[in-house]
Chain A
Amino acid sequence: MSALLEVLAVGKRFGGIEALSGVSFTIARGEIYGLIGPNGAGKTTFFNLLTGVYRADSGSFRFDGKPLNVKAPHQVAAAGIARTFQNIRLFANMSALENVMVGRHVRTRAGIFGAILRSAATRAEEAAIHARAWALLDYVGLAARGNEVAHNLSYGDQRRLEIARALATEPKLLALDEPVAGMNATETATLRTLLERIQGDGTTILLIEHDMKLVMGLCDRILVLDYGRKIAEGTPALVRSDAAVIEAYLGGELA
């Protein structure tokens, strides 16, 4: 399998704290890649570096065979990376459908003149945006909720709506930051099915998650971070039996 994302010795400091130090790994096309570690290990920092929220102090990213050089946030989406958020960040006052339509923005052309002049091409494009947004809502199981305002949706539905919005940008890499946090067992199972379906349809997934059952069952490979350093990488079985991982999670006296 060829590499989709190459992370080359990426580091980030916040004042005296080294949030990430020289982390390198590679995500292959089509896999579900897990990123785990105790709280404060640097997982979300990594997401923020990848999506251009912060700038890395050192190291670089290669994505889809090209250096990932982000100057404005929308370029991340344009390059083919979409993400969801640990604490849900929907456009709360817009309908579920409109939230997904925002994600289509980067893959469509019409701008200010299209909005005013309403040419046939613009109208056709907007009809296509609508159709695609409905299809994505259906894909994540929210077709019946499309016209509801996002903040009225249940917690689990909001999480799935974030995924639909991210998928609307047609990502090559879908980065999910704790997608099942706060979900009950049924919701988690539904989401797991959805993630497997997304992988089956050809999208690579990067998953940060604390739910070990989900991570171990779903991921092809896992990277373990602790205090900003990579302490293990490999298949779930390998990672589960790694001494350094056990020490990081359970404390030194057991190792």
Chain B
Amino acid sequence: MDIFLQQIINGLTLGSVYAIVALGYTMVYGIIQLINFAHGEIVMVGAMVAFTVIGWLAANTPLPPLLIVLIGTAAAIPACTAIGYALELFAYRPLRKAPRLAPLITAIGASIVLQQVAMMIWSRNPLAFPQIIPNMVFPVAGATITLIQIAIIMTSVVLMIALTAIVYRTKLGVAMRATSQNAPIAGLMGVNVNHVIAATFMIGAALAAVAGVMVGTYYGIAHYTMGSLLGLKAFCAAVLGGIGNLAGAMLGGMLLGVVEALAAGYMGDLTNNVFGSNYQDVFAFMVLIAVLVFRPSGLLGERIGERA
């Protein structure tokens, strides 16, 4: 088996998830310069809600698997969107004019609250994904790709195209970009800045819901702590690409996924098995440190001076 190609495929799958989550970080940062550390927990809630619905449907109805997963996702999206909106309204909006450290710490607090509430609702035990999706494996030039991997990569590509279309083709997108460049002026030109910021949180949360379903389905479990590490890595991906930049988040996510997968694949060989593939998590943060040292604005980030 071709380990290199296999790890690229695995990396792109994981990278797709990182990219979708990173988009949520980068959109919120782009519009109010807040790093929403609770974003990873929204992904977790998405996975938990979807798994609850999917588990129930799989056990009690004869619906086809694809439909079950779609219904589960459809349930997760409004739940996450509501949480995203509530966070903005109750946690961040009152602090809009406060020093930047205040909303940042609030975000960390919100993340802890969400995690603990999820623990109370779903218990400490992981939810398992029911065995409903056939484990189909397709050979690709010496490596393999599973049905779930194909679905994850394709879904995230569709979401990225859709988001780009929203931001660059719609009225809301124009208002979002105007607000991110200069919120007071956008307000004076008639844009309801609060609506636009709320919409940004909601779109980011909807993406997070889908990401939660994708990552949960990929690993087969969902757990109330799953959002923390995933959120941090997606944040690294957003910084790698240039935080505030949509294309950067997509590129950063994919790159980070591939770097991690390759590291996991070759770590044992390169270090004579002193370090194993379980050290793959280190790489996200090594990448973060390297970016902050050598290119603080990220791969596609603009210089700060270019902001309006």
Residues of A with Cβ closer than 8 Å to B?
A: 51-53, 72-74, 76-78, 82-83, 85, 89-94, 98-99, 101-108, 110-112, 114-116, 122, 125-126, 129, 165-166, 168-169
Contacts and interface: CB of A to CB of B under 8 A. Distances in A.
Contacts of B261: none
Interface of B: 166, 170-175, 177-178, 181-182, 184-195, 199, 202-203, 306-308
Given A72-B192, A102-B178, A103-B190, A115 B170 contact: yes
B202 A166 contact: no
A108 B181 contact: no
Interface of B is mostly: helix
Given A74-B191, A92-B306, 17 more contacts: A74-B192, A93-B308, A94-B178, A94-B181, A103-B190, A104-B171, A105-B190, A107-B190, A110-B170, A114-B170, A114-B172, A115-B170, A115-B172, A115-B173, A125-B171, A166-B189, A168-B189
B178 A74 contact: no
A102 B194 contact: no
Nearest to B169: A126
A125 B175 CA distance: 15
Contacts of A106: 189-191
Contacts of B195: 111
A125 to B, nearest CB: 7
Contacts of B199: 111-112, 115
A102 B170 contact: no
B171 A51 contact: no
Interface of A is mostly: helix
A218 B306 CA distance: 37
Given A104-B171, A126-B171, A91 B182 contact: yes
A111 B172 contact: yes
Nearest to A123: B170
A76 B307 CA distance: 25
A91 B188 contact: no
A105 B175 contact: yes
Interface centre among A73, A98, A126 (most CB of B within 10 A): A73
Contacts of B171: 101, 104-105, 108, 110, 114-115, 125-126, 129
B65 to A, nearest CB: 26
A22 B189 CA distance: 28
Contacts of A89: 182, 185, 308
Contact of A94 (B177, B187, B194): B177
B175 A102 contact: yes
Nearest to A51: B188
18 contacts: A51-B188, A52-B188, A72-B193, A74-B192, A91-B178, A93-B177, A94-B178, A94-B181, A103-B190, A105-B175, A105-B190, A111-B172, A114-B170, A114-B172, A115-B173, A115-B199, A116-B166, A116-B203
Nearest to B175: A105
A159 to B, nearest CB: 15
Contacts of B175: 102, 105
A208 to B, nearest CB: 16
Given A72-B192, A106-B191, A111-B199, A91 B185 contact: yes
A122 B170 CA distance: 9
Contacts of B178: 91, 94, 98-99, 102
A112 B170 CA distance: 10
Contact of B189 (A53, A72, A102): A102
A13 to B, nearest CB: 21
A112 B203 CA distance: 8
Nearest to A92: B308
A108 B181 CA distance: 21
A145 B239 CA distance: 34
B190 A77 contact: yes
Contacts of A98: 174, 177-178
A111 B195 CA distance: 9
Contacts of A92: 181, 306, 308
